[in-house]
Amino acid sequence: MNEKLKTTFWLLGYTFLAGLMLAIFSMLTEIYRYLFSLLALYIGIRFFRRFETVGLRITFFVLAIIFYLLIAVVVAAFIFLRDNQTQ
């Protein structure tokens, strides 16, 4: 497999997981929400150990924030549609 394609898939996987953990963290109110924050931090640490270039690290942060925003908007829209259905 092409090395750049493999790196891209790893980048997308790590950023999606980090964005998902941040989205879950922002939606919960109980004390165990901090577990998801720590999981996002752990995912970031694992990514930084695996990829050492500055460009990939910046891309990780940017894509994790974009995935966080996308997941939060989709979940908010789903909750809104579920709660405000007209009969």
Return the structure tokens found at 20: 């998902």
What's the pTM? 0.88
Residue 17 belongs to domain spanning:
3-82
Q: What is the pLDDT of residues 14-50, one digit of tens each?
A: 999 999 999 999 999 899 999 999 999 999 999 999 9
Return the structure tokens found at 60: 């990780």
Check residue 84 and give its pLDDT: 87
The C-alpha angle with vertex 83 and arms to 77 and 87, in degrees rounded to 5, equals 115
How far is 44 from 55, CA to CA, in rounded Å? 14
Residue 16 or 86, more confident: 16
**Mean of per-residue pLDDT scores for the chain:** 93
Residue 87 confidence (pLDDT) above 70: no
Q: How many domains does the chain have?
A: 1
Residue 12 confidence (pLDDT) above 80: yes
Residue 22 lies in a domain: yes
Residue 87 lies in a domain: no
Q: Are 30 and 74 in contact (CB under 8 A)?
A: no
